[in-house]
Amino acid sequence: MPITPLPTPPQPTDTTAQFNTRAFAFVAALVQFVTEANAQAVQVNSDSASASLSKIDALAAAAAAAAVAGATRWASGASYAEGAVVWSPLTLLAYRRRSSGAGTTDPSTDGTNWTQIAGTGDVSLVGVQTLTNKTISAGMFIGASTFGGAIIANANAYQVPFALTDGATITPNFSVDNNFTVTLAGNRTLANPTNVNAGQSGVIFITQDATGSRTLAFGSNWRFPNNVAPTLTTTANAVDALVYTARSATAISAVLITNV
pLDDT at 123: 45
pTM greater than 0.85 (yes/no): no
Digitized pLDDT (tens) for each residue of the chain, 260 residues in all: 678 898 999 999 999 999 999 989 988 988 888 888 888 888 888 787 777 767 666 665 665 565 566 788 999 999 999 888 888 888 888 888 888 999 999 998 888 898 887 555 544 455 555 666 665 555 556 555 666 667 776 667 778 899 999 999 999 999 888 999 999 999 999 999 999 999 999 999 999 999 999 999 999 999 999 999 999 999 999 999 999 999 999 999 999 999 99
- Longest CA–CA separation in the chain, Å: 112
Q: CA separation (Å) from 246 to 29, 63, 223? A: 77, 44, 10
Q: How far apart are CA 126 and CA 130, in angstroms?
A: 11
Give the residue among 170, 165, 156 at the shortest CA–CA distance from 215: 170
pLDDT at 122: 46
Give the residue among 191, 186, 181, 239 at the shortest CA–CA distance from 213: 186
pLDDT at 33: 86
